[in-house]
Structure 1
Amino acid sequence: MTTATYARRLRRAGFRIAVPVFALTLVLGGCGSDDSSQIGASSVGTVNDINPKDVSELQDGGNFRLALTSFPETFNSDHVDASSDVSDVVGWTLPGTVTANAAGELSVDHDYFTDIQLTGTEPQQVTYTINPKAVWSDGSPITWEDMRSQAQALSGKDVAYQVRGTDGFDRVEKVERGVDDRQAVVTFAKHYAEWQGMFNPFYPKASTESPTAFENWARNSLPLSAGPFVISSIDRAQQRITLNRNPKWWGNTPKLDSVTFAVLDYSARISALQNNELDAATVSGIDEISTAAGSPGLDVRRAPSPRFSHFTFNGAPGALLEDPQLRIAISKAIDRQGIANATQHGVVANPEPLNNHIYVKGQKGYQDNSAAVSYDPQAAAKMLDDLGWKLNGDVREKDGRKLELRDVMYQQDAWVQMAQIAQQNLAAIGVKLTIQPVPGNGLFKDVVDPGNFDIVQFTWSGGILPLGALPQIYAYDPNNRLSNKGRIGSPELNALIEETISELDPEKAIELANKADRMIFEEGFSLPIVQSPGAVAVRSTVANYGAFGLASSDLTKVGFVK
C-alpha cells in the first residue's frame, strides 16, 4: 500500500511564506488501475471540500487526531529549523491578520484585528487595529509592542536571529504606537507587494525580544499563545503533542475539546485511519484513494492545494553541482512528464509537471517558464560532453572526479520511487544517482541545512500570496541564507526579486515574478515536479475540515456531527 501525508491547512497557512515539508503528498502507485471515478482536478480553483456544517449540528467536545512527520525541532515557526510540522501545530494556537475564502479572496481576521488598512503609499504605511478583546494566554493584552518586536526580529538586520525568511519585515522602517496600545502603524522604507501576508502567525514579544529568546523561548514548548487552543501537553517519549481549549479565548467557543498530534510512520497511516486511530490524512495514487474511499467511516475530500514536490540542487562553492550549466544538463535528463504520469495516473485528469516555481496551476499568474530545462536527454548528454564530463564505462568523469550524485529525501517509499525514475533517466546519460533516504527527525537541521547533499527532494507548501517565496528561497546572501537550501543565486536575480516584491501593482508584480521564475530555471536552481492534487481521507463524522484548497479554515468550527 502506498502512503502519503495530510497537507493540513491551517487558519492562516495560506499567508505564510513557503515552508518545507518532509513528506510527499503525491504518491506513486496504482498505475494499472482505470478507476475513473476517483479522478479529480489538477489545478487550484474556487472550491474546497470540507463537509460544511452549521455548528448547531456538531457535538460539543471530542478529540481530533492528526499525524506529524517528525517531532518539531522548535515551536518557533519563524526559525530556520522550523518545518511544516511546526506550522501545523502552532496554527491552532497563534494569531494572524487575514483569512481567505475558497476563491482566495482576503478579509481581516476579526478575532484578532478590528481593522487593517493600507493608509499610505509614499511611504507605504499599514495601520493595524488590534481587537480590544485579544489577549495572550496569560491574560496580558496583545499590543503594538508585540508587533514591533516581531518586525525587528524578522527584519534580517541582525543575523543572530536565525530566521527562516524575512517576509517583508526587511523592508520595514519602523513600527509605532497608534492611537493607543492596541494600534500599530507600520511604515515601510521600501514598498512591499504582499504586505497582507505579514504577521502570520503573530508571536508575542517574549519570543522575539532578543536573539537568545528567538532561539530558545519556543525551542521546546510554546509558553504563550493566543488562539482558540493552547498546547497543554508535550510528550517527547511518546512523540505526542496535545492541545486543549484556551481558557482565555474570547472568540467563538471551539466545538472540539482537544487536538492530538502524534508522530506516525507513513506506512501506518492508512491502517490508522481504517482502525479509527486517526481522523484525517492525505491520500494519493489511485490505490490509496480507492482504499480510503472504500473504507467504512471514511470519505475522500478533494481540492488541489498550492503545494509542490521538487528536486533542489546543491550549488554551493566546491559542490559537485556548483556549475549552473551542469545543473541544467542534469535537469534536462530527468523526465518530469514521466514522473507526473507515474505519480498522478488515475488521480488527476491529464497529469502534467509543474512548470513554475512561484505559482501553481490554476493560480493567477501561472505560466510555463521551464524551457531551459525541457526534457531532452540527447541535448543533456551533449552538454555534459561539452562541459568535459566524458564517459568512462557507465559513469562520466572529469579531472578524476566521477559524476556520482547523492539524492537525499525523507524515508518514504514515494520519494524513493520518484528518485528511482530520475536514477534511470540519469543512468542513460552516464550519471550515477545514489538514493539516500533519511528519517524525518533531524532531516533539515542535520542534513539539508548543513548542505550534506547533491540533490534533495521535499515539498514546498506555499499559499495565495506566493511572492514572499522569492526572497525567502530564491534570493541568495551567503551570510544569511534564509531558506535557500541549495546556496544558489546571483546579484542579477537578487535585483529582479527586489524589483518584484517592491511592485504594488499586482499585474506588474506577476509579470516581474514570471521573469524572475525564468531566471530561476535558467540558473538550474531546482526542478519542480508536480503539485498536490489535494485528496484527503477524513472520518465521515468530521465537519468543516478536509481539503481546503486556497481557503482558510475556522478551527473553532471543526468538530464531529451529532
Structure 2
Amino acid sequence: MRIRSLGTQFAIPCVAVGLILSGCSSDNDVTPGTSTIGSTNDINAHDVADLRDGGNLRLVLSSFPESFNYLQVDGGTDSTGDVIEPTLPVAYTSNAAGELAINHDYFTDIQLTGTNPQQVTYTINPKAVWTDGTPITWEDMRSQAAALSGRDTTYLMTATSGFERVEKVERGVDDRQAIVTFSQPYAEWQGQFSPLYPKATTESAAAFNDRDRNGLAVSAGPFQIGAIDRGQNRITLTRNPAWWGATPKLDTITFSVLDSSAWLPAIQNNELDIAYMSGIENVTGAKQAVGVVLRRTPEPSWSHITFNGAPGSLLEDPQVRIAISKAIDRQGIVNASQNGVVDDPKPLNNHIFMKGQKGYQDNSAPISFDPTAAAKMLDDLGWKLNGDVREKNGRRLEIRDVMYQQDAWVQTAQIVQQNLAQIGVKLNIQTVPGSGLFKDVIDPGNFELAQFSWGGSYLPLGALPQIYAYDPNNLQSNKARIGSPELNALIDRTIAELDPEKARELANQCDQMIFEEGYSIPLHQASGTYAARADLANYGAFGLATADYTKVGFVK
C-alpha cells in the first residue's frame, strides 16, 4: 500500500494500490473528491504534545517483501518501501506542496557547490550512526554511488538514480563529508541517497543482491526491524535505541500482509489503523465504520497497462500495440472505476507528470479511442480475422493479461477483454498472488499485457531513465522491454537539463515518443482516499509529503 513518497526519485511498482474498483451505488453520503495533485494534505496534524506516549501503528502490506534492499530489483516495490521508510536515511524531505528540505537528522548541510562540472557537497550529521554503532560516513555514499553506477551489471538494481552520471565521490574535510562530482549534469540530484544503505550492503554485487534479502542487517532510522514473522505474514518495527533524533511517540509499527479484500473488514473491526480505500462501496463502508474517518489527498500514483514488446514477442510491433491501445475505452474504464469517488473522472494522459504537477499536458493522441481505426490498422498489418480471432503467419492474436489477484484489477481486465473482442483480439485474464507477480511473472517477461500501478514522487523525471530508457543488458524497471536509441538520447538530454522549465519541455517530448512507441496505456491517477482511525495523528493522506515518524502517534 503506497501512501507517500519515500524521498527517492524512482517510481515503485505497486500490485494493490487499491486504485480501482467499480461501483455505482447512489445510496451513500460520500462527496466525490479530486484526483488532481495539489499543495495540501490530510494527516490530522497535531503538535507532539497532544499525543500520548507509546502505541502501535498497524499498517497493511499487499505482499511480503521479496528483499529488504529497496535499491535491488526484487526489493524495489511498495511493500519494501513502506517497511524500510522509518528505518533508513534519506537526504531530503518534502512538504505537501512538493517543496524540498534537507533532512537534518542525517545531513547538517547539502550544497550544490559547482555546475561545471556539477558538484554536490554533503555534510553528514556527526551524531548519525548505524544500528551497530558505526558512524555513517562518506564511504557509505561512495559505495552506493558505485553500486548504482551501472558499470557492473551483476548489481541487479531497480534504477541507477543518476549515479551513472557520477564521476567520483571523495572524502571532504573529514569522514563526515562527501563530495560528489558528476561527469554529466543530473537534474534531479536531490533525489539521490534516498534511501542510503551501509557500505556493507553495496560494496559487492553479492551483498547488494542478497545481504538484506531476509531482513535489514543494519539500519539508521527512528525505528528498526524488531521481528519478521513469515508464518503470520507480519513485520514489527521497534524503536531504535541508537537513534539520536527526537524520540518517537510510537513504541512499535506493525505491518500485516492482507489480501486487498480484507482491508475494509480490518478497518471496520479495528484491526488496522489506516488503509487505502478504492471504489464507492469501500469508501462508503469505511466512512460508516465506528471511530474511522476518511482522509484524502491526491498522490502521484497511477494505474496502467504495460505491453511486453520484447524482441520476438507477439506484440513486438509497435503498430500492433498502438492498434490494441486505440481499441481500449480508457474513459469507460475510468468512469467504472472512480464513479462516486472522483468528481468528473478523466484518464491520465501523460507517463511522466500527474494532473496538477507542473509539466502535465495531454500527449495521448496516438492512443485515442477509435475501434474502427484500430481494426483497420490490424488489417493493414496483415492480422486477418479467422472466425473471432485474428491470425498472421500461423499465430493467433491471443494475449494474456496478468495482474494482482484483486477484483478491482479483474474488473478492469474484463472491460479490456470486451473492447478487444470487438476487433478480433482475444484476451485471457491471469491473476497472480502479490508475492510472485513481479519476481516470477512480470520481471521475467512472462506476459503480453500487465496491469499494475506506479507509485511516484515529487521528482518525476527519474522515471524516464528508470522505466522508459532501454538497455537490453540492464533493464532496470523497463518491464516492457520497449525503447529506442532515439528515446534514450532524448532522455539523456532531459535529465541533464538543470533549467526546470526546459527539462519539463524535454520530458513531454519524451512522453510523446513513449506514446508513439506503444509502451503502455495510462488509466488514471490515485485519488488518495484512506480510512484512518480518528485519533491517528500526523499520518494519513500525504500527497507529495514525506512522513515524520517521530511525530506519528495517537491523540491523548
TM-score bin (small chain): over 0.9
Q: How does 1:287-436 map to 2 (within 5 A)?
A: 287-436=281-430
User: Which 10-residue stretch deviates more, 234-243 or 302-311?
Assistant: 234-243
Tell me how far apart the structure 2 counterparts of residues 51 and 164 of structure 1 sit (CA, whole Å). 33
Pick one of 192, 200, 216 that aligns with 1:198. 192
Equivalent position of 2:103 in the other structure: 109
Instruction: Give the superposition deviation at 1:24.
Output: 4.0
Equivalent position of 2:51 in the other structure: 58
SS in 2 for 1:81: coil
Q: In the alignment, residue 171 of structure 1 is paired with which amino acid?
A: R
Tell me how far apart the structure 2 counterparts of residues 179 and 261 of structure 1 sit (CA, whole Å). 41
Question: Is 1:170 the equivalent of 2:131?
Answer: no
Q: How does 1:62-77 map to 2 (within 5 A)?
A: 62-77=55-70
Equivalent position of 2:183 in the other structure: 189
Query: Do the aligned partners of 1:34 and 1:346 also contact (CA within 8 Å) in 2?
Result: no
Output one character per residue of 1:237-279: Cα deviation in whole Å (capped at 9) or x when no partner: 1111110000000111000000011111111111111111111
Tell me how far apart the structure 2 counterparts of residues 185 and 119 of structure 1 sit (CA, whole Å). 9
Q: In the alignment, residue 431 of structure 2 is paired with which amino acid?
A: P
**Structure 1 runs, 4 residues or longer, greater than 6 Å off:** none
Equivalent position of 1:452 in the other structure: 446
Instruction: Give the superposition deviation at 1:33.
Output: 2.1
Q: In the alignment, residue 19 of structure 1 is paired with which amino acid?
A: I
SS in 2 for 1:118: strand
Question: Is 1:8 the equivalent of 2:7?
Answer: no
Q: TM-score, normalised by structure 1?
A: 0.98
**Percent identity at matched positions?**
68
SS in 2 for 1:15: coil
Query: Do the aligned partners of 1:33 and 1:286 also contact (CA within 8 Å) in 2?
Result: no
Output one character per residue of 1:158-210: Cα deviation in whole Å (capped at 9) or x when no partner: 00100110000010000000111100000000000000000111110010010
Instruction: Give the superposition deviation at 1:37.
Output: 3.9
Give the number of equivalent residue pairs.
555
Instruction: Give the superposition deviation at 1:35.
Output: 4.5
SS in 1 for 2:412: helix
Tell me how far apart the structure 1 counterparts of residues 3 and 508 of structure 2 sit (CA, whole Å). 28
Question: Is 1:473 the equivalent of 2:475?
Answer: no
Instruction: Give the superposition deviation at 1:15.
Output: 3.2
Equivalent position of 2:248 in the other structure: 254
Question: Is 1:274 the equivalent of 2:276?
Answer: no
Tell me how far apart the structure 1 counterparts of residues 6 and 374 of structure 2 sit (CA, whole Å). 38
Tell me how far apart the structure 1 counterparts of residues 29 and 512 of structure 2 sit (CA, whole Å). 35
Query: Do the aligned partners of 1:419 and 1:435 also contact (CA within 8 Å) in 2?
Result: yes
RMSD (Å), alpha carbons: 0.9
Structure 2 segments unaligned to the other structure (5+ residues): none
Q: TM-score, normalised by structure 2?
A: 0.99
Q: In the alignment, residue 175 of structure 2 is paired with which amino acid?
A: D
Tell me how far apart the structure 1 counterparts of residues 394 and 158 of structure 2 sit (CA, whole Å). 38
Tell me how far apart the structure 2 counterparts of residues 535 and 31 of structure 1 sit (CA, whole Å). 17
Question: Is 1:543 the equivalent of 2:543?
Answer: no
SS in 2 for 1:501: helix
Tell me how far apart the structure 2 counterparts of residues 500 and 8 of structure 1 sit (CA, whole Å). 28
Instruction: Give the superposition deviation at 1:85.
Output: 0.5
Query: Do the aligned partners of 2:92 and 2:101 also contact (CA within 8 Å) in 1?
Result: yes
Pick one of 149, 153, 174 that aligns with 2:147. 153
Tell me how far apart the structure 2 counterparts of residues 24 and 49 of structure 1 sit (CA, whole Å). 18
Question: Is 1:78 the equivalent of 2:59?
Answer: no
Distance 1:274 1:36, change over 3 A: closer
Pick one of 543, 547, 551 that aligns with 1:553. 547
Structure 1 segments unaligned to the other structure (5+ residues): 1-5
Q: In the alignment, residue 434 of structure 1 is paired with which amino acid?
A: N
Query: Do the aligned partners of 1:7 and 1:534 also contact (CA within 8 Å) in 2?
Result: no
Query: Do the aligned partners of 1:36 and 1:346 also contact (CA within 8 Å) in 2?
Result: no
Query: Do the aligned partners of 2:291 and 2:533 also contact (CA within 8 Å) in 1?
Result: yes
Tell me how far apart the structure 1 counterparts of residues 2 and 142 of structure 2 sit (CA, whole Å). 31
Instruction: Give the superposition deviation at 1:141.
Output: 0.6
Q: In the alignment, residue 56 of structure 2 is paired with which amino acid?
A: N
Tell me how far apart the structure 1 counterparts of residues 268 and 30 of structure 2 sit (CA, whole Å). 21
Tell me how far apart the structure 2 counterparts of residues 36 and 509 of structure 1 sit (CA, whole Å). 43
Query: Do the aligned partners of 1:14 and 1:551 also contact (CA within 8 Å) in 2?
Result: no
Question: Is 1:263 the equivalent of 2:257?
Answer: yes
Output one character per residue of 1:94-134: Cα deviation in whole Å (capped at 9) or x when no partner: 00000111111111011100111100000000000001111
Query: Do the aligned partners of 2:15 and 2:452 also contact (CA within 8 Å) in 1?
Result: yes
Equivalent position of 1:3 in the other structure: none
